[in-house]
Structure 1
Amino acid sequence: MRRLTASGTPLAGWRLQGLDLEPHAAHLSRADVRGLVVLGGRVPDELARDLVARGAVIIPPDPTCPVEPFRARLYSPFDLYGGLETAGYPSTVDARAYAWSREARTQHDAWATLLRAVHDDAVQDALVEALHGLDVVGVMGGHALERGSSDYADAARLGHALADAGRVVLTGGGPGAMEAANLGALAPTADAVETALGRLSAVPSFRPSVEAWAELALQVRDDLGAGDGPARSYGIPTWFYGHEPPNVFCDGIAKYFSNALREDVLLAQSAGGLVVLPGAAGTVQEIFQACTPLYYAPEGEPLPPLVLVGLEHWTETVPVWPALRALGAGRPLGEVLHLVETPEEAAALLLG
């Protein structure tokens, strides 16, 4: 920023998003700012008046909105859960953002709608930048899967196997199977996975207490030494399902207000393949949403594998598999559909 303003280059067409401009006030006061747009961030009043007077456009943050709509980076678990231990979950950004989105006055308010849309666009931009050039594998599954169960442990081991082989794990960012996959990816060793699984089983679910569920997870995350190396997993949760808190084991969190956009981004970014663990209605919706672009893909276009885990679940409990096979018959889609029994088989299939 300082090099840009010092160069004397006109700032027309530039967008300064979510930045603290106070350290750059002197440089900006001398720059040609006609056509500059400042989105959110921190702009001292005197600087703001000066910029506007010289032709810049400033869109300030809304103090009633609990999130920064023009944020320039992904969330961390600490961004969303700050204040949890001292003031409880309702005080956190995560809980306050959900409550704000559900208020009667924001449901049909054009300004609130715009803020939500801008926020989601900014988060999406940050996520695409974070994932650029990485080999991303999506992992989907039900939110109700409890810590301490064998299926939860299997999902964690799947996440670890993928991350250990150099893949970046991308999940819906919520509890259950999603949390397990992010946990496994975060853990540096297989032994660390097993230790974490044992500790987390003390609080099986986020019901009835999000505080107990999240506080224990934050302690486990800290002991895993998260952040000491390259990012191994990301989560994409949504405030549309605000009753499902985000898990803390992601290296970065792209939380959206729009569930439709969130699901589309998750699927689009899983270019290295998609593993679907047992789930219910939400997971079924995601399966067919993933299937649609594969069904209509042009001839010769390489398609990522779509791997369903759980023979009985997907053929009898929730019989999605017969419909998928029918759709894939005689099409390239059929060649990338797989049904396996265990997460280990899914990992072996994706990792070759």
Structure 2
Amino acid sequence: MLDSHHRGEWKTKDAWRALRILSEFVEGFDTLADLPPAVSVFGSARSTPDSPECELAAQLGAALAEAGYAVITGGGPGVMEAANRGATEAGGMSVGLGIELPFEQGLNDWVDVGIDFRYFFVRKTMFVKYAQAFVVLPGGFGTLDELFEAITLVQTRKVTRFPVILMGTEYWGGLLDWIKGRLLADGKVGPGDMELMMVTDDVEEAVQIIVDADAALAENGNR
């Protein structure tokens, strides 16, 4: 879409591309409108099934399902598949929001409700719009992109404040130390911004944070 080598085609093709973008929003809104309360779970597609983060994701998916939440992932392999599997095996709803990529092979087998998107920004809107919380497990550039977009939306109050939970204290420790030692120390973020992210290795604690935040919002009449 951003290929400047074909600039001359923008007037003729981009207007029609806008309709395709709109159609993806419509499909997403229509498909997900009746979801129960849900949590978006992010993490690496490259993690192996026997990795610690996949085992943690499966436990998390099951615990969220038992607490009454649907589990939304990117629908791919690795951590995403593990979270979907955990939710499905625990009797919960498992959602996959896939993305068309040349090196991905479609949605994993544990997805109950699935959509494939062409545009990342449409897909990310669905992750935010239909989630009560984000849980971020170890991952790469895509996971970091989703994490920082969520934090930015909460920080700027573009979305209702909701929990953003990092699971894997050892994995995320270096990043958080850098944020504190560089961004916070230089005044690029405020002290309160550090409170937008919570870190834990405990599945029960993560789920309880989400449940408590939901209860607080309900009590304040914000839902």
What TM bracket, shorter-length normalisation? 0.7 to 0.9
Q: What is the aligned partner in structure 2 of residue 77 from structure 1?
A: none
User: After superposition, where does 1:158-173 map in structure 2 within 5 Å?
Assistant: 158-173=60-75
Of the three residues 124, 130, 135, the one matched with 1:263 is 124
Q: What is the aligned partner in structure 2 of residue 252 from structure 1?
A: 113
Instruction: Report the CA distance shift for 1:164/1:127 in structure 2 as closer, same or farther (over 3 A).
Output: same
The amino acid that maps onto 2:155 is: Y
Question: Which consecutive unaligned segments of at least 5 residues does structure 2 have?
Answer: 1-8, 213-223
Alpha-carbon separation, structure 2, partners of 1:118 and 1:274: 25
Contact kept? 1:123, 1:256, Cα under 8 Å:
no
Alpha-carbon separation, structure 2, partners of 1:278 and 1:146: 12
Q: What is the aligned partner in structure 2 of residue 238 from structure 1?
A: 99
Alpha-carbon separation, structure 1, partners of 2:38 and 2:149: 18
Q: What is the aligned partner in structure 2 of residue 73 from structure 1?
A: none
Shift of 1:149: 2.6
- Whether 1:297 aligns to 2:157 is yes
Contact kept? 1:277, 1:310, Cα under 8 Å:
yes
Alpha-carbon separation, structure 1, partners of 2:189 and 2:201: 20
- Whether 1:311 aligns to 2:169 is yes
Aligned residue pair count:
197
- Whether 1:338 aligns to 2:222 is no
Q: What is the aligned partner in structure 2 of residue 75 from structure 1?
A: none
Q: Which has the larger radius of gyration?
A: 1
Alpha-carbon separation, structure 1, partners of 2:56 and 2:138: 12
Contact kept? 1:142, 1:177, Cα under 8 Å:
yes
- Whether 1:113 aligns to 2:17 is yes
Q: What is the aligned partner in structure 1 of residue 221 from structure 2?
A: none
Question: Which consecutive unaligned segments of at least 5 residues does structure 1 have?
Answer: 1-106, 190-230
The sequence identity of aligned pairs, in percent, is 29
Q: What is the aligned partner in structure 2 of residue 139 from structure 1?
A: 41
Instruction: Report the CA distance shift for 1:334/1:328 in structure 2 as closer, same or farther (over 3 A).
Output: farther
Instruction: Report the CA distance shift for 1:288/1:321 in structure 2 as closer, same or farther (over 3 A).
Output: farther
The amino acid that maps onto 1:281 is: F
The amino acid that maps onto 1:310 is: G
> Which deviates more, 334-343 or 165-174?
334-343
Alpha-carbon separation, structure 1, partners of 2:68 and 2:61: 11
> Which deviates more, 149-158 or 304-313?
149-158
TM-score, normalisation: structure 2: 0.76
Q: What is the aligned partner in structure 2 of residue 122 from structure 1?
A: 26
User: After superposition, where does 1:1-352 map in structure 2 within 5 Å?
Assistant: 110=13, 113=17, 116-131=20-35, 134-188=36-90, 232-239=93-100, 241-245=101-105, 246-270=107-131, 272-297=132-157, 303-316=161-174, 319-320=175-176, 322-323=178-179, 326=184, 329-331=190-192, 333-352=193-212
TM-score, normalisation: structure 1: 0.50
Alpha-carbon separation, structure 1, partners of 2:128 and 2:81: 18
The higher relative CO (CA closer than 8 Å, separation ≥ 6) is in 2
Q: Deviations over 1:96-121 (max 9, x none)?
A: xxxxxxxxxxx988397366425413
Contact kept? 1:328, 1:335, Cα under 8 Å:
no
Q: What is the aligned partner in structure 2 of residue 199 from structure 1?
A: none
Contact kept? 2:76, 2:108, Cα under 8 Å:
yes
Higher strand share: 2
Alpha-carbon separation, structure 2, partners of 1:287 and 1:185: 21
Over aligned residues, Cα RMSD in angstroms? 2.9
Contact kept? 2:37, 2:130, Cα under 8 Å:
no
